[in-house]
């Protein structure tokens, strides 16, 4: 496990891992299992009918973390993985995923994954997923994640998705269904550069009374890259939903943001906002007067924006 410097660098970037994880974990490397550990309250088993794992978290589990990162270090590798999470009632846990691709060849390396969450009553899940690509090869680094979440009564999920750098093409599909009193909070941060493309298709369905949904999307598109965001909030009961998309556009990049809200109940309260713009000149000027170069000032602003 974590045999090479490349493995260790990828795992640190996508999962903040330094050495063997504490608690339950499954590390997938180049379509195989590179290490696995279950705990008393979190069991991880391989699927028998298709690639992937089942993660079962016992009711009442509190304060535990489960790491399930994926790394690809071979050029030309393509995989499709299915991971299912079964979270019992009254849990409070962290799940850390993420995928890193190191491609030094001339063939495309690709990871597609479907994560499905079944979160029991009054449970709280914090889910983090980071994507990162690197390598000197000409082969593409491609990731297409799909996340589906079902929240039972009073359950919550805080989901943070981050694309750090180096992913040539990505299409992210997210669907969350909220039961009564359930809450979904999604924070999305994305950086594209070169001629990269990124698409995010998101649907939050507020089915239960007093359910809540919040989407915060922040992105930066540089060079000739392109981005498309399509977040949708659907209110089918007395509920509250808010969608906010903010983007910085640079160079010859293109960004399309299409937030949508649909109310199918008179007591649904839904709000959406979207803004796309360049870095303000006065912000750059202020930092430059403090001694930063224009490039350093831009980097400082972008880091703060995506933090």
72: nearest Cα among 47, 39, 107: 107
Angle at alpha carbon of residue 278, lines to 277 and 284, rounded to 5°: 140
pLDDT at 2: 58
Cβ-contact 158, 185 below 8 angstroms:
yes
pLDDT at 284: 80
- Collapsed DSSP state (helix, strand, coil) of residue 4: coil
- DSSP annotation string for 101-134: EE--SSS-EEEEEEEEEEE-TT-EEEEEEEEEEE
* 113 Cα distance to chain centroid: 12
- Collapsed DSSP state (helix, strand, coil) of residue 209: coil
Residue in the block written with tokens 């972008």: 302
294: nearest Cα among 258, 260, 263, 250: 250
- Burial code (b: 16+ CB inside 10 Å, e: under 16) for 44-57 equals beeeeeeebbebbb
Report the C-alpha gap between 10 and 98 in whole angstroms. Answer: 10
Do you know the residue count of the chain?
A: 307
DSSP state of 15: H
- DSSP annotation string for 265-279: STTEEEEEEEEEEPP
Cβ-contact 212, 183 below 8 angstroms:
yes
| pTM over 0.85, yes/no | yes
Report the C-alpha gap between 61 and 264 in whole angstroms. Answer: 36
In DSSP terms, which residues pair with 93 in a beta bridge? 64, 125
pLDDT at 281: 79
Per-residue pLDDT of the chain (307 residues; tens, 9 = 90+): 557 999 999 999 999 988 888 899 999 999 999 999 999 999 999 999 999 999 999 999 999 999 999 999 999 999 999 999 999 999 999 999 999 999 999 999 999 999 999 999 999 999 999 999 999 999 999 999 999 999 999 999 999 999 988 999 999 999 999 999 999 999 999 999 999 999 999 999 999 999 999 999 999 999 999 999 999 999 999 999 999 999 999 999 999 999 999 999 999 999 999 999 998 878 888 888 888 888 888 888 888 888 7
Report the C-alpha gap between 150 and 121 in whole angstroms. Answer: 11
**Torsion region of 194: left, alpha or beta (phi above 0 gives left; psi -120 to 50 gives alpha):** left
Cβ-contact 15, 130 below 8 angstroms:
yes
DSSP state of 50: S
| Contacts for 88 with CB less than 8 Å, ≥ 6 apart | 57, 58, 59, 60, 61, 120, 123
């Amino acid at each position: 496990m974590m045999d090479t410097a490349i493995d260790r660098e990828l795992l640190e970037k996508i999962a903040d891992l330094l050495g063997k994880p504490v608690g339950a974990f499954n590390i997938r490397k180049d379509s195989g299992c590179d290490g696995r550990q279950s705990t008393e309250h979190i069991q991880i088993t391989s699927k028998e009918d298709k690639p992937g794992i089942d993660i079962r978290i016992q009711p009442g589990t509190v304060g535990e973390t489960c790491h399930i990162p994926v790394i690809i270090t071979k050029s030309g590798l393509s995989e499709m993985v299915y991971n299912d999470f079964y979270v019992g009632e009254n849990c409070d846990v962290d799940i850390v995923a993420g995928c890193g691709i190191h491609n030094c060849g001339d063939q495309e390396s690709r990871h597609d994954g479907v994560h499905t969450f079944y979160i029991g009553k009054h449970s709280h899940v914090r889910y983090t997923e980071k994507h990162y690509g690197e390598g000197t090869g000409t082969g593409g680094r491609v990731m297409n994640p799909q996340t589906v979440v079902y929240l039972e009564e009073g359950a919550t999920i805080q989901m943070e998705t981050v694309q750090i750098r180096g992913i040539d093409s990505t299409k992210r599909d997210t669907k969350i269904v909220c039961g009564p009193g359930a809450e979904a909070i999604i924070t999305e941060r994305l950086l594209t550069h070169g001629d990269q493309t990124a698409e995010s298709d998101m649907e939050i369905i507020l089915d239960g009374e007093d359910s809540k949904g919040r989407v915060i999307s922040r992105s930066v598109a540089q060079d000739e890259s392109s981005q498309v965001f399509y977040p949708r909030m659907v209110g089918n009961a007395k509920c509250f939903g808010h969608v906010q998309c903010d983007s910085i556009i640079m160079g010859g990049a293109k960004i399309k943001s299409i937030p949508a809200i649909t109310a199918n109940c008179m007591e649904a309260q839904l709000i959406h906002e979207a803004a796309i713009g360049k870095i303000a000149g006065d912000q750059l000027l202020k930092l430059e007067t403090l001694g930063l170069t224009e490039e350093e000032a831009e980097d400082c602003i972008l880091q703060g924006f995506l933090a």
